[in-house]
Amino acid sequence: MNTETSSHRWSVAPAQRALDHEPLDADIHASFARVVARLHSEADALARRMADVGTVELADRDGGAQLLYRVHHGEDHGEGLHRLVGSFDLHLTHDGKAAIHMRIRGDLPPAEVLDFDCVTADHLRTRLHMFETGCRRLPMARAA
């Protein structure tokens, strides 16, 4: 049995599966690049806000971008280990939409798959605020 069809990224109907593997055109890639640029802009603001407690790194990935958050001083009591606390992933789906995945130390809220015009700067700001709140909450809970 083909396990590929059980993935959330692929359709189960044979006619749709064929379309899933069609290459996306240049216009879709250009539109998605503008969404990634919006994320870059909002990530800079997040990095400034989080500078007191950790670092935010933005990595360009094939088909998207990923924000990584590490605390300055984690469970190592200041020994210099920077542990990954959260990641915020934006990628292009097989059907030409933007998918947002967040992970905060094991917690994986539901993914969001949106048309490009729905991923506004305000929308990214709201999602990044949720990400920031979750990342800040985790070290405080461990310290208590």
Q: What is the pLDDT along the chain (144 residues), one digit of tens a residue?
A: 333 333 344 455 555 555 566 788 899 999 999 999 999 999 999 999 999 888 899 998 877 899 999 887 655 455 555 567 889 999 999 889 999 999 988 788 889 999 999 999 999 999 999 999 988 886 555 554
Tokens of 72: 């300055």
Contact 85, 139 (CB under 8 A): yes
User: Closest Cα to residue 34, out of 126, 118, 101, 103?
Assistant: 118
Contact 10, 94 (CB under 8 A): yes
Tokens of 32: 């998605």
pTM: 0.75
Q: How many Å apart are CA 131 and CA 34, to the nearest integer?
A: 21
State the residue for tokens 């990634």: 36
